[in-house]
Structure 1
Amino acid sequence: MMFSTTLARLARLCSILGGLLMTALMLMTCYSLIGRNVFDTALIGDFELTGIGSGAAIAFFMPLCQFKRDNIIVDFFTANRSAAFNHKLDRFGDLLMTVIFFLLSWRCALAAVNAKETMGASMLLGFPDWIVFTSMSIPFGLTTVIAAMQTLSKFNPEEASA
């Protein structure tokens, strides 16, 4: 696939960022639970940060998931079909992923602009919403590019099955 090394590196970088974010959320949750149950002090806004961080982390994991084609595939109905049919179905699935992630990226970008203009923020901490939407729009955009490249790659079913 053209640009596959660059796309692979960017997808891995996104995945590493998602992993670091999930690790930070786990440490924050442990700190909050220990503080709440042992020292009777609460970490204000931990639910907000968990929701914000989890959404962003999921977005960061999507480029590598798409790059490796590790999405869930149910092949119950296609197991007995020809390789050419399955190849065409895979290309159609890649096209659908391209459209879906383009729409997600586009809508997150518009939401980021709107949140920046209206100064939208979370309830307890006042964490700016535009940062959340931007952090989701960028990896969704990368996933769009990866899915589009996969849609356009290997049009020959014989090459795909080899």
Structure 2
Amino acid sequence: MQEPKPATPFALKDSFGPGGNFLLALARLMAIIGGLIFVGLVLMSVVSIVGRKTVGFVVPGDVEVLQMLAAAASASFFPYCHLLHGDIKVDFFTHNMKQKTLWIIDAFGSLLVGLFGALVAWRSWAGAMTVKDAGETSMILAWPVWIPQAFMVPGFALLAVAGGYMFVHQLRMAARGRP
């Protein structure tokens, strides 16, 4: 058994075409934004922890902010990961299959990923609107809870698009017999 290696963005540019390259660039931008959010959360946590232990200063609502933004930041990585074949794959049974068969299996997996992304985006939006209608706010900062929940929707919506794109792309590769 061997470790699957994710593709590099440069290797995919030739096989994706203009629409796929635009999708890849958009997913990369979203992943960068998610990474910057995490960097900000880490810096905020460090300031809060060091301040609490040294001078008695604490960032008010630091845990609330962390909880609210971490989910949205995490969701922003999924589309880029899927487009680069960075998903977890178990190839124990498919190790000796023909490449064409693997592309068809990967296409089916991408279809499931796309459907999952669409479902989670839809339910995240519905949940956010329900929380908005209820007027729920965070306990310490009194921030509306629906806004960070709605921030998860673009990541999952783009995951749905990426899954659909990869479904078609992998079926085309199987039909052509090459990337």
With the length of structure 2 as denominator, give the TM-score of the two structures: 0.83
In structure 2, stretches of 5+ residues that fail to align are 1-15
| Corresponding letter in the other structure for 1:63 | P
Cα deviations by residue, 1:59-80 (Å, 9 ceiling, x for unpaired): 1111211121211112122111
**Match for residue 174 of structure 2?**
157
Distance 1:154 1:74, change over 3 A: closer
Q: Which runs of 4+ in 1 moved over 6 A?
A: none
How many residues in Structure 1 have an aligned counterpart in Structure 2? 162
2:37 to 13, 21, 26: 21
Please name the residue that 1:65 is paired with.
Answer: 81
Superposition pairs of residues 11-160 of structure 1, within 5 angstroms: 11-155=27-171, 156-157=173-174, 159=176
CA contact (8 A) 2:138 2:144 kept: yes
Change (3 A) 1:92 1:154: closer
Q: CA deviation at 1:142?
A: 0.9
C-alpha spacing 1:141/1:160, structure 2 compared with 1 (3 Å): farther
How far residue 160 of structure 1 moved from its aligned partner, in angstroms, is: 5.3
Q: 1:154 to 1:86 in 2, by over 3 A?
A: closer
Q: Is the 8 A contact 2:103 2:170 kept in 1?
A: no
CA distance in 2, matches of 1:69, 1:160: 18
TM-score by length of 1: 0.92
Give the distance between the partners of 1:120 and 1:63, measured in 2 at CA.
30
Q: Is the CA contact 1:87–1:160 (under 8 Å) kept in the aligned structure 2?
A: no
Q: Deviations over 1:4-48 (max 9, x none)?
A: 122122111101110110010011011001111001232221111
Deviation of residue 111 (structure 1)? 1.2
After TM superposition, the structure 1 stretch with the greater mean CA deviation from structure 2, 19-28 or 5-14, is: 5-14
Listed as ranges, the gaps of 5+ residues in structure 1 are: none
The residue type equivalent to 2:99 in the other structure is A
Instruction: Specify the SS of the correspondent of 1:153.
Output: helix
- C-alpha contact 2:68 2:149 (8 A) present in aligned 1: no
Aligned-residue RMSD, C-alpha:
1.6
Q: Distance in 2 between matches of 1:119 and 1:5?
A: 40
C-alpha deviation, 1:161, in angstroms? 4.5
Q: Which moved more, 1:99-108 or 1:125-134?
A: 125-134
Contact 1:105–1:138 (CA under 8 A) maintained in structure 2: yes
Does structure 1 residue 4 correspond to structure 2 residue 12?
no
- Could you tell me how far apart the structure 2 residues matched to 1:37 and 1:19 are? 27
> Quick one: distance in 1 between partners of 2:176 and 2:118?
28
